[in-house]
Amino acid sequence: MAEETVVKEVLTDDMKNLGASLTRTLDAAGWPIVAAFWYYESDENRWELMFAFPRLNSESGIGPYMAVVHALTALGLSRIHLNHMRVVDTDHPVVKALASVCQTGWTITGIPFSRQAIDRSIIDDAYIYRVTSESAAA
């Protein structure tokens, strides 16, 4: 009987730098990012860079999504990076779970967050740049 071993995708320093740079660029462009973090999706064995915008529902996601595209362009980066990014609303379950236990304010940090059960969400791994009180109130 053969056994299958899954090796977890690693969050690299380049990925961490990308997340911080994009968050700074979006801030400079005036986009109110209330949460920005890498989130490990264990079912898919991949990391996703998630940005939570408070006005996502009112703008149908097109405005904030294009802001991310423009930020990539401003940094001279390929749109291929979008394959590892998600634009979400502040009421996304992972955003709400992280906001209930972590508050960074509007600064950009680099907080590793691992193996936590919060309410009905399990966070295997995350790397947090920002989670503000606005995301907790959503």
- Residue holding tokens 């394959």? 83
- Collapsed DSSP state (helix, strand, coil) of residue 52: strand
Q: How far apart are CA 24 and CA 62, in angstroms?
A: 20
- Collapsed DSSP state (helix, strand, coil) of residue 17: helix
Confidence at residue 138, expressed as pLDDT on a 0 to 100 scale? 45
Read off φ and ψ for residue 119, nearest 5 degrees: 50, -120
Confidence band, pLDDT 50/70/90 cuts, at residue 23 = very high
The residue count for the chain? 138
Confidence at residue 61, expressed as pLDDT on a 0 to 100 scale? 53
The radius of gyration of the chain from alpha carbons, rounded to an integer in Å, stands at: 15
Confidence at residue 100, expressed as pLDDT on a 0 to 100 scale? 86
* Residue type present at position 125: D
How confident is the model over 30-79, as pLDDT tens digits? 988 999 999 999 888 999 999 998 866 555 556 888 999 999 999 999 99
